Amino acid sequence: MTIAEAQRTVDEWIKTYGVRYFNELTNMVLLTEEVGELARIIARKYGEQSFKESDKDTDMESEMSDILFVLICLANQTNVDLTKALAKNLEKKTNRDATRHLENKKLK
């Protein structure tokens, strides 16, 4: 599935099952909540914290897809073409960081 297809699919899902998009502020809060849930898993899996019994059934794949879904909702309702936005972002990073990371001794 391309990013454009994902945007169309989420839009169709919202119109079919979600009734309407939550407002932008609500979706921003939901996005933050979902990122926090992913952070919790990463902190326990790769950090010093251990999993709580209530965290045992959570997984990164599910949380990442929740983040992507809400991000796509925000893009759709604010008329952002994520394909174009990502291409533009990669071009900016490439121009800005063409040698920056290659020359960073901390990364070698």
pLDDT of residue 53: 82
The Cα 108–Cα 96 span in angstroms is 20
Q: pLDDT band at residue 74, thresholds of 50, 70 and 90?
A: very high
Residue 51 buriedness (CB in 10 A; 0-12 / 13-18 / 19+): middle
Model pTM score? 0.90
User: Domains of the chain (ranges plus CATH)?
Assistant: 3-80 (1.10.287.1080)
DSSP state of 2: -
CA torsion sign for 20, 21, 22, 25 is: negative
Per-chain mean pLDDT for the chain? 94
Predicted confidence (pLDDT) per residue in 17-70, tens digit: 999 999 999 999 999 999 999 999 999 999 998 888 877 778 999 999 999 999
Q: pLDDT band at residue 98, thresholds of 50, 70 and 90?
A: confident
